[in-house]
A and B are shown apart, each in its own frame.
Chain A
Amino acid sequence: MQNDAVLTMRGISKTFPGTRALDRVDFTLRRGEIHALMGENGAGKSTLIKVLTGVYEKDGGSIWVDGTEGEAHIHSPQDAQQIGISTVYQEITLCPNLTVAENMFIGRSEGAVVRWKDYEKKATAILKNLGIPARARQELSSCSLAVQQMVAIARAVDMNCKVLILDEPTSSLDDKEVEMLFSLMRDLKSRGVGIIFVTHFLEQVYEVSDRITVLRNGQLVGEFAVEDLPQVELVAKMMGKNLNDLEDMQLAGQKHEAGEEVIYQAEGLSSSDSRPFDFQIRKGEVNGFTGLLGSGRSESVRAIFGADRVTGGKVRVRGKETRITKPHDAMKAGIGYLPEDRKKDGIIADLSVRENIILAMQVMKGFFHPMSRAQMEAFADEYINALSIKTASRETPVGSLSGGNQQKVILARWLLTHPDYLILDEPTRGIDVGTKLEIQKLVLRLAAEENMSITFISSEIEEMLRTCSRLIVMRDRNIVGELTGDQLTQAQVMKTIAGGEQGV
Chain B
Amino acid sequence: MKRREPLSNTQLLMTIAIGIFVAMYGAAMAFLGGGFLRFQQVFDLLNDNAYLIIISCALTIVMIGGGINISVGGVISLTVMACALYLNGTGIENSFLSITVTLLLALGIGLAFGIGQGFLVSYLEIQPFIVTLAGMFLSRGLTTILSVNPVKVTHEGFQALVKTKIQIPFLGYVAQNGNQIPAKLEIGAVVAIAVVVLSYLLLRFVKLGRNIYALGGNQQSALMLGINVRRTRFMSYVLSGLLSGLAGFVFLMHKPAGNSSVAMRSEMDAIAASIIGGTLLTGGVGNVIGAFFGAMILATIQKIIALSPLNESWWQEMASGVLLGFFIILQSVVLSSREKRRARKSAAGGVRKE
| A and B are interacting partners | yes
List the interface of chain A (C-beta within 8 A of B): 76-78, 81, 87, 89, 92-98, 102-103, 106-109, 111-114, 116, 135, 137-139, 141-146, 176, 273, 293-296, 299, 476-477
Task: Contact check, B224 vs A77: say whether CB atoms are below 8 A apart.
Answer: yes
Task: Contact check, A107 vs B227: say whether CB atoms are below 8 A apart.
Answer: yes
What is the bound-complex CA distance between A94 and B222, given in angstroms?
7
Q: Is B178 an interface residue (CB 8 A)?
A: no
Task: Contact check, B217 vs A93: say whether CB atoms are below 8 A apart.
Answer: no
What is the bound-complex CA distance between A477 and B227, given in angstroms?
40
Q: Is B163 an interface residue (CB 8 A)?
A: no
Task: Contact check, B342 vs A142: say whether CB atoms are below 8 A apart.
Answer: yes
Please, what's the 1-or-0 string for B318-354, where 1 marks a CB less than 8 Å from any CB in chain A?
0000000000000000000000001000110111010
Partner of A114, one of B206, B217, B226: B206
Task: Contact check, B5 vs A135: say whether CB atoms are below 8 A apart.
Answer: yes
Nearest CB on A from B17, distance (A): 18
Task: Contact check, B350 vs A95: say whether CB atoms are below 8 A apart.
Answer: no
Q: Is B251 an interface residue (CB 8 A)?
A: no
Given known A-B contacts A81-B226, A144-B350, A114 and B207 have beta carbons under 8 A apart: yes
What is the bound-complex CA distance between A94 and B210, given in angstroms?
13
12 A-B pairs (CB sep. < 8 Å): A78-B228, A94-B218, A95-B221, A96-B218, A97-B217, A97-B285, A98-B214, A106-B225, A114-B204, A144-B346, A145-B350, A176-B353
Nearest CB on B from A82, distance (A): 8
Q: Is B223 an interface residue (CB 8 A)?
A: yes
Residues of chain A lying within 8 A (CB to CB) of residue B222: 95, 107
What is the bound-complex CA distance between A16 and B233, given in angstroms?
28
Task: Contact check, B211 vs A141: say whether CB atoms are below 8 A apart.
Answer: no
Residues of chain B lying within 8 A (CB to CB) of residue A137: 5
Residues of chain B lying within 8 A (CB to CB) of residue A139: 5, 8
Q: Which of B48-79 contact A (CB under 8 A)?
A: none
Task: Contact check, A97 vs B213: say whether CB atoms are below 8 A apart.
Answer: yes
What is the bound-complex CA distance between A142 and B284, given in angstroms?
15
Nearest CB on B from A106, distance (A): 6
Task: Contact check, B350 vs A98: say whether CB atoms are below 8 A apart.
Answer: no
B residues contacting the other copy or chain, number (CB 8 A): 37
Residues of chain A lying within 8 A (CB to CB) of residue B350: 144-146, 293-294
Nearest CB on B from A156, distance (A): 11
Nearest CB on A from B24, distance (A): 29
Task: Contact check, A102 vs B210: say whether CB atoms are below 8 A apart.
Answer: yes
What is the bound-complex CA distance between A81 and B8, given in angstroms?
30
Residues of chain B lying within 8 A (CB to CB) of residue A143: 346
List the interface of chain B (C-beta within 8 A of A): 3, 5-6, 8-10, 204-211, 213-214, 216-218, 220-228, 284-285, 342, 346-347, 349-351, 353
Residues of chain B lying within 8 A (CB to CB) of residue A94: 218, 221, 225
Instruction: Name the residue of chain A whose CB is nearest to the CB of B339.
Output: A141
Task: Contact check, A77 vs B223: say whether CB atoms are below 8 A apart.
Answer: yes
Task: Contact check, A273 vs B225: say whether CB atoms are below 8 A apart.
Answer: no
Task: Contact check, A95 vs B225: say whether CB atoms are below 8 A apart.
Answer: yes
Instruction: Name the residue of chain A whose CB is nearest to the CB of B347.
Output: A273
Instruction: Name the residue of chain B whose CB is nearest to the CB of A81.
Output: B226
Given known A-B contacts A98-B213, A106-B225, A114-B207, A477 and B351 have beta carbons under 8 A apart: yes
What is the bound-complex CA distance between A474 and B247, given in angstroms?
62
Task: Contact check, A87 vs B224: say whether CB atoms are below 8 A apart.
Answer: yes
Instruction: Name the residue of chain A whose CB is nearest to the CB of B2.
Output: A137
Task: Contact check, B214 vs A106: say whether CB atoms are below 8 A apart.
Answer: yes
What is the bound-complex CA distance between A109 and B216, given in angstroms?
20
Instruction: Name the residue of chain A whose CB is nearest to the CB of B221.
Output: A93
Main secondary structure of the interface of B (DSSP, over half): helix
What is the bound-complex CA distance between A240 and B168, given in angstroms?
84
Residues of chain A lying within 8 A (CB to CB) of residue B227: 78, 106-107
Task: Contact check, B5 vs A138: say whether CB atoms are below 8 A apart.
Answer: yes
Nearest CB on B from A431, distance (A): 23
Nearest CB on B from A215, distance (A): 22
Nearest CB on A from B240, distance (A): 19
What is the bound-complex CA distance between A116 and B204, given in angstroms?
9
Residues of chain B lying within 8 A (CB to CB) of residue A96: 217-218, 284
Task: Contact check, B221 vs A92: say whether CB atoms are below 8 A apart.
Answer: yes
10 extra interface residue pairs, beta carbon distance < 8 Å, beyond A81-B226, A96-B284, A139-B5: A78-B227, A93-B221, A94-B218, A95-B213, A95-B225, A95-B284, A106-B225, A108-B226, A144-B349, A146-B350
Given known A-B contacts A95-B284, A139-B8, A109 and B217 have beta carbons under 8 A apart: no
Instruction: Name the residue of chain B whose CB is nearest to the CB of A109.
Output: B207
Residues of chain A lying within 8 A (CB to CB) of residue B347: 273, 294, 299
Task: Contact check, A107 vs B285: say whether CB atoms are below 8 A apart.
Answer: no
Residues of chain B lying within 8 A (CB to CB) of residue A76: 228
Instruction: Name the residue of chain B whose CB is nearest to the CB of A296.
Output: B351
Task: Contact check, A113 vs B206: say whether CB atoms are below 8 A apart.
Answer: yes
Residues of chain B lying within 8 A (CB to CB) of residue A293: 350
Residues of chain B lying within 8 A (CB to CB) of residue A108: 225-226
What is the bound-complex CA distance between A95 and B353, given in angstroms?
27
Partner of A113, one of B9, B207, B220: B207
Residues of chain A lying within 8 A (CB to CB) of residue B285: 97
Residues of chain B lying within 8 A (CB to CB) of residue A145: 346, 350
What is the bound-complex CA distance between A208 and B206, given in angstroms?
41
Instruction: Name the residue of chain A whose CB is nearest to the CB of B4.
Output: A137
Nearest CB on A from B123, distance (A): 14
Task: Contact check, A106 vs B210: say whether CB atoms are below 8 A apart.
Answer: yes
What is the bound-complex CA distance between A77 and B219, given in angstroms?
13
What is the bound-complex CA distance between A116 and B284, given in angstroms?
18
Task: Contact check, A112 vs B224: say whether CB atoms are below 8 A apart.
Answer: no
Task: Contact check, A141 vs B223: say whether CB atoms are below 8 A apart.
Answer: no
What is the bound-complex CA distance between A495 and B301, given in angstroms?
66
Task: Contact check, A93 vs B284: say whether CB atoms are below 8 A apart.
Answer: no
Residues of chain A lying within 8 A (CB to CB) of residue B210: 98, 102, 106, 114
Partner of A98, one of B5, B205, B217, B342: B217
Task: Contact check, A78 vs B226: say whether CB atoms are below 8 A apart.
Answer: yes
Partner of B220, one of A78, A93, A102: A93
Nearest CB on A from B175, distance (A): 48
